[in-house]
Amino acid sequence: MSDSTTYPHIIYESRLTLIIALSDAELGKVMFSNPIRWVDSDNNPVDLGLEQPTAQKEAKMLRYANEINDLMPRFIEMRQWTTPNGEVHDMVVMERLEVLPIHHFDKSTRLQMLKVFNEKLEEQRNSFFLHNDIKRPTMYFNRGDKEWMYSNVIQTPSQLRLIDAGFARVYPYNDLSDFRMSLRRNLLESMDFGDYYMEEE
């Protein structure tokens, strides 16, 4: 890993994802082709009805979301990233956010920021765009870790932002049955986040 004062440097790495700080303003995301398997607390497979995330899908969803509002990071471009062992992967380059602790602000400020966040979520829903991962599927991993559960919602100095479009989806206008089912879950997830966000620290 590179020194954190130089670029590029890796800020997160797992078997699924590599997150790279490219500059003060740009972040790179590499997604490896390891299938995600969801299980319940008894280790039984669970089908959430979501496509496996790819760099191309992430880029497509970010571009769509950027046309609606600024809730998600601004997509910049696609590049390639070469690993130390010579493997070449597609990399999504996006706006790098300034991240603060989720309960950084006082309660009244958070209440106003939550209101704006929910309004922007509603704008996305009105465009048939659903993030589908506001509340990460902790119930299937049985972790009970709220900080991890809601880590796709980021507190910045000016507002709440939403990251990780890997499971986002634009629903077709002529078949809304899947949209209504997913919408119900997304509404519950945003309500659960609001409860967590407004907790006293």
Domain locations in the chain as residue ranges? 9-95, 107-197
Which of 40-54, 82-96, 106-120, 140-154 shows the lowest per-residue confidence on average (mean pLDDT)?
40-54
Q: What is the pLDDT, as a whole number, of residue 1?
A: 41
pLDDT tens, position by position, 95-114? 999 999 999 999 999 999 99
Mean pLDDT of 29-37: 73
Angle between helix axes 177-197 and 107-126 (nearest 10 degrees) is: 170
CB atoms within 10 A of CB 146: 16
119-132 average pLDDT score: 96
- Mean pLDDT of the 39-50 span: 55
Residue 24 CA to residue 91 CA, distance in Å, equals: 17
Q: What is the pLDDT of residue 5?
A: 64
Buried-exposed string 55-88: b where 16+ CB fall within 10 A, e elsewhere: bebbbbbbebbbeeeebbbbbbeeeebeeeeeee
pLDDT at 2: 43
pLDDT at residue 26, rounded to an integer: 97
Q: What is the pTM of this model?
A: 0.85
* More confidently predicted of 93 and 137: 93
- Strand blocks (E) in 17-172: 17-21, 26-31, 75-82, 88-95, 129-130, 153-155, 160-162, 169-170
**Higher model confidence: residue 96 or residue 146?**
96
Mean pLDDT, rounded, for 137-143: 55
Selection from 2-6, 134-138, 145-149 with the highest mean pLDDT: 145-149
pLDDT at 104: 97
Give the chain's mean pLDDT: 87
Q: Which CATH architecture has domain 107-197?
A: Orthogonal Bundle (1.10)
CATH number of 9-95: 3.30.200
Does pLDDT of 140 surpass 90? no
Q: 159-162: which pairs have CB atoms within 8 A and are 24 or more residues apart?
A: 159/113, 159/116, 159/117, 160/113, 160/114, 160/116, 160/117, 160/197, 161/70, 161/71, 161/72, 161/73, 161/97, 162/71, 162/72, 162/121, 162/131, 162/134
